[in-house]
Amino acid sequence: MRYWAPPVWNTLLAAIVDGEDAARLGLAGKPDPALFLYAAGLLGAGPRDTAVVEDALAGVRAGRRGGFGLVVGIDRTPDGHGTAALLVQGADLVVPDLATLVRSVWGERA
């Protein structure tokens, strides 16, 4: 996997995969859940025991289609107008950014 992530992500996220991984592995793109299912396999977990965090509608749809236990949508729009669409596509919850998600799970200490 090739990606840039802030160092703190390595302590919070056990696996990060991206489109380069999908291309290298010959996996179908979103909304097919193949890449997410691959990531769950890297974790040694089934989809129901794995969370997907996505900012794209196709990615949220892929997480839902893959049967993942938690699908989190990231609404990057400044006024939150993308939230409804992320929910319609299958997000269980929507947050404006990863920091908000981390604080909602681990509190301010994260």
> Residues 90, 68: contact at Cβ < 8 Å?
no
Q: Please, are residues 40 and 22 in contact by the beta-carbon 8 Å criterion?
A: no
Rounded distance between C-alpha atoms, residue 37 and residue 42, angstroms = 9
| 14 and 43 Cβ atoms separated by less than 8 Å | yes
- Residue 69 Cα to chain centre, angstroms: 11
- Give the tens place of pLDDT for each residue, 7-49: 555 666 677 788 888 999 999 999 999 999 999 998 899 999 9
- Would you state the CATH architecture of domain 16-106? 3-Layer(aba) Sandwich (3.40)
- Domain layout of the chain by residue ranges: 16-106
Q: Which residue reads 């596509």 in tokens?
A: 89
Instruction: Give me the mean pLDDT over the 51-77 stretch.
Output: 96
